[in-house]
Amino acid sequence: MTRLDGSLWISVGTAQKSLATKLAEGGYPPYNVEILPAEAQRPERLRITLAVAGFSREELDVRIADGALHIRGEKPEEDSRDYLHRGLASRRFKRTFALVNGVEVRKAELDNGLLAIELERLPQETRAFKVGIKSAG
């Protein structure tokens, strides 16, 4: 797999997104998309890593729906503390990555404020299957 092959897996660009979606997602949280080294007997893999410092596992939601990987983070409302200065904002976020057919999430791990999601592209032969045809009546 080459560096350019990553674009065949997911859509990380914003060309297909509406202006409202672009503004809503903004640049937070920052993320990397890494092509993992090929291994024998292992399908092609990618890793998306997001910087989510301050979020616990329970405050994060990772799911696949409608052909896309959706990652959300939401912190509960804080109590009404009286701050002299508040520079650490807790904000909710949503990141969406469009997936091509045959890509599955293999694992998601949260370690030291980094959420790593490993994606695997199934071999072509496991993506195609025969559909049986019944007679009507």
In order of their start, the domains of the chain are 3-79+86-112 (2.60.40.790)
Looking at residue 126, what is its pLDDT?
60
78 and 46 in contact (C-beta within 8 Å)?
Answer: no
pLDDT at 132: 72
Mean per-residue pLDDT of the chain: 78
Percent of the chain residues topping a pLDDT of 70: 74
pLDDT confidence band for 137 (50 / 70 / 90): low
Which residue blocks in the chain are alpha helix, DSSP H? 19-25, 124-127
Q: Whose CA is closest to 119, among 16, 40, 22, 11?
A: 11
CA–CA gap between residue 113 and residue 120 (Å, rounded) = 23
Under a CB-based contact definition with an 8 Å cutoff, are residues 50 and 29 in contact? yes
Judged against a pLDDT cut of 60, whether residue 24 lies above it is answered with no
Query: Looking at the predicted structure, is the pLDDT value of residue 50 above 90?
Result: yes
Residue 68 and residue 100 in contact, taking contact as beta carbons nearer than 8 Å: no
How many CA atoms lie less than 13 Å away from 15 in the CB half-sphere?
Answer: 5
pLDDT of 52 > 70? The answer is yes
Report the predicted TM-score, pTM, of the whole model to 2 decimal places: 0.72
